[in-house]
Chains A and B, each alone.
Chain A
């Protein structure tokens, strides 16, 4: 069973489009995260939700909007995609205090 699953795995789209990435975890964790990994493999947190409540919101353009319908799901919607949004986006889940975080396999977003 996949613990943290993301869809789609690959996303190729044009600049200016709107797209969504979905994430689901079956580990029973209360907290979910979105990370961005750039072309140099540098990882940075974007958002975190605990029991459907936003708890971490880093300096991310407001074109990015996370949504958590329940604690097992955290989706990421991106409006007006730009070339600089090309990256791999990772979803993760964990128990907030004890960690560790469990990661999905990532969504590779390519903007043409």
Chain B
């Protein structure tokens, strides 16, 4: 079965600093990887996905993610974090039967 791991429960950064949220994956075939963000009392919002092609994927709200096959990683990045980026971030992988398996989530806090 496919799975993802998010090694950090929490990430704290100062506004204006780079933000990185880590994700590693385990798949038996080609990986289909996703990042979602969840704001308080809201559903998940799609940020970006990797299916194939360029290893650097650009997404919504200035986020990007780098797919690294040798390290089996798909880290989410933003060059300059905003206070409004404070939220819960989920990495996910699509299984062969098309269901998404989510990581445990990483809470990002950006301080002013």
**Contact call B44/A103, Cβ cutoff below 8 A:** yes
| B41 at interface by CB-CB < 8 Å | yes
| A66 at interface by CB-CB < 8 Å | no
- B32-53 vs A, CB cutoff 8 Å, 1 = contact: the mask equals 1010101001111110010000
Which one of B38, B42, B44 has the greatest number of beta carbons of chain A within 10 Å? B44
- Interface of chain A: mostly helix, strand, loop or mixed: strand
With A42-B105, A48-B99, A100-B49 already in contact, the answer to whether A105 and B43 are too (CB < 8 A) is yes
**Contact call A42/B104, Cβ cutoff below 8 A:** yes
The answer, among A43, A55, A102, for a CB contact under 8 Å with B102, is A43
| A99 at interface by CB-CB < 8 Å | yes
Interface size on A (CB < 8 Å)? 24
Number of A-B residue pairs at CB separation under 8 A: 56
| B98 at interface by CB-CB < 8 Å | yes
**Contact call A41/B105, Cβ cutoff below 8 A:** yes
Q: Give chain B's interface residues, CB within 8 Å of chain A.
A: 32, 34, 36, 38, 41-46, 49, 88, 90, 94, 97-102, 104-105
Q: Give chain A's interface residues, CB within 8 Å of chain B.
A: 4, 31, 33, 40-45, 48, 55-56, 90, 92, 96-97, 99-106
**What are 30 of the A-B contact pairs (CB < 8 Å)?**
A4-B43, A31-B98, A41-B38, A41-B88, A41-B105, A42-B105, A43-B44, A45-B100, A55-B98, A56-B97, A56-B98, A90-B43, A92-B43, A92-B44, A97-B98, A99-B34, A99-B49, A99-B100, A100-B34, A100-B46, A100-B49, A101-B46, A103-B43, A103-B44, A103-B45, A105-B41, A105-B43, A106-B41, A106-B42, A106-B43
